[in-house]
């Protein structure tokens, strides 16, 4: 399988050999940290765009936000695997944790905004149920992750927002038409 975009042998993917036969160097931890910060910044912009679009019954920007969130989660996973349990630089693990928690906070706060916008919509479009069932799952996973540190005042506030979003989204999912109904 050719992994290159130019069809010349796949020298652009990690671990591939360069044109001179040498193996390409993998991305550094610092470069991956910069990439994950860039992806988070893009997710912030997409969340704003998605909120505006949802008010006009357009869900594509929301789906793009979800894809960016998945990209961020993949980078976090790669970074955690790359640094291992005992990182060489003690700043790496807290930086990754901060990125992870920043996107989690963004996801919950964006979901609250989306849920309020959706709750004001009397008729849901076909596919809204399936779209937002995924979001209910994300909120439930976030709740489980945050329960262990709920004594922190900021986390307790975030859990309150999460519970409100979850309650509204469950109502939205319930009133939205399902694909199998058509």
pLDDT at 157: 87
Whole-number Å distance between alpha carbons of 46 and 40:
10
pLDDT at 149: 79
pLDDT at 57: 77
pLDDT at 1: 43
pLDDT at 59: 81
C-alpha distances (whole Å) from 175 to each of 59, 79, 129, 167 are 17, 40, 8, 13
pLDDT at 148: 80
Whole-number Å distance between alpha carbons of 39 and 103:
10
| Residue-by-residue pLDDT tens, the chain, 182 positions | 444 444 444 445 454 455 555 665 667 888 999 999 999 999 999 999 999 988 887 888 988 999 999 999 999 999 999 988 888 888 989 999 899 989 999 999 998 888 888 777 777 767 777 777 888 888 999 898 888 877 778 788 889 989 998 998 888 888 777 666 55
Residue-by-residue DSSP string for 126-155: TTHHHHHHHHHHHHHHHHHHHHTTTTSHHH
Q: What is the DSSP letter of 42?
A: H
pLDDT at 181: 54
pTM of the model: 0.76
* Phi and psi at residue 17, to the nearest 5°: -85, 150
């Amino acid at each position: 399988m050719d992994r290159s975009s130019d069809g010349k042998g796949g020298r652009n993917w990690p671990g591939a050999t360069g044109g001179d036969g040498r193996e390409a160097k993998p991305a550094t931890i610092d470069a991956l940290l910069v990439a994950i910060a860039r992806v988070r910044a893009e997710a912030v912009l997409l969340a704003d765009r998605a909120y505006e679009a949802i008010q006009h019954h357009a869900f594509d920007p929301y789906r793009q936000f979800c894809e960016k969130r998945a990209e961020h989660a993949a980078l976090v996973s790669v970074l955690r695997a790359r640094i291992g349990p005992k990182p060489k630089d003690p700043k790496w693990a807290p930086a990754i944790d901060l990125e992870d928690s920043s996107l989690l906070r963004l996801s919950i706060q964006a979901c609250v905004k989306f849920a309020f916008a959706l709750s004001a919509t009397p008729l849901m479009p076909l596919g809204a149920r399936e779209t937002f069932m995924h979001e209910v799952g994300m909120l439930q996973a976030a709740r489980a992750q945050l329960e262990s540190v709920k004594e922190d005042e900021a986390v307790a506030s975030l859990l309150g927002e999460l519970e409100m979003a979850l309650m509204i989204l469950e109502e939205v999912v319930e009133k939205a038409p399902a694909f199998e109904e058509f």
